[in-house]
Chain A
């Protein structure tokens, strides 16, 4: 079964960091990029960044350039996203999503179930 399974919900205090993982199965991990998208309560989807699972290259949205690190572990078919210096505004559901591309285009055909990250003192 083709799927991506995310790690469980997290609670952090402001200023802390959180790492969310995403384990792929049912397909060749290194054949597809992995993106990270978040959604604050009642808000739109917000793209954070992506990793080329074949070579490890990453690109993040300008908004998250200084606070997000995306890594991969090919041996376990897992991509992870670490967000640092958490603030209350980072409370959101974080999704990993498999990316497809045909030139200057990205779309996401497989999404994880989402990981709720709550930032509260």
Chain B
């Protein structure tokens, strides 16, 4: 079955750039999406189709996907960005798959 792997945690200082990786076999050949989940809340879509931002998502969120790794980048990180982030992709054999999640800490 298809799997996506994320680092369990990433730390960043306020106003700096945070990068969260998501790796999977030939992930660059698929679309990757990213979700933000704050404690006790439902996930929120922040990036879809590798690099598109839904309406209402700040420009500081961006995404890329190449080779076997998709990356979510948060520029000028703010305290409110502290949350869990999940990558997600679709595989023809497994259907929808989520990564294990990355806890972003803004120190």
Interface residue ranges, A against B (CB under 8 Å): 35, 37, 44-47, 50, 59, 61-62, 95, 97, 100, 102, 104-109, 111-114
Contacts and interface: CB of A to CB of B under 8 A. Distances in A.
Give the secondary structure class of A's interface: strand
Given A95-B43, A111-B42, A113-B42, A105 B98 contact: no
B36 to A, nearest CB: 11
Contacts of B48: 100, 107, 109
Given A105-B49, A114-B42, A44 B92 contact: no
Nearest to B96: A47
Nearest to B47: A107
A87 to B, nearest CB: 21
A69 B97 CA distance: 19
Contacts of A111: 42-44
A30 B54 CA distance: 21
Contacts, number: 60
Interface size class of B (residues with CB under 8 A): 20 to 34
Contacts of A100: 48
28 contacts: A35-B96, A37-B98, A44-B101, A45-B35, A47-B95, A47-B98, A50-B96, A59-B95, A61-B94, A61-B95, A61-B96, A62-B1, A100-B48, A102-B49, A104-B30, A105-B49, A105-B90, A106-B95, A106-B96, A107-B31, A107-B33, A107-B45, A107-B49, A108-B35, A108-B45, A109-B48, A109-B54, A113-B42
B9 to A, nearest CB: 14
B24 interface: no
Contact of A44 (B30, B94, B100): B100
A37 B95 CA distance: 13
B99 interface: yes
Given A44-B100, A104-B92, A111-B42, 14 more contacts: A44-B86, A45-B35, A45-B86, A61-B95, A97-B43, A100-B48, A102-B49, A104-B30, A105-B30, A106-B90, A107-B49, A108-B35, A108-B88, A109-B48
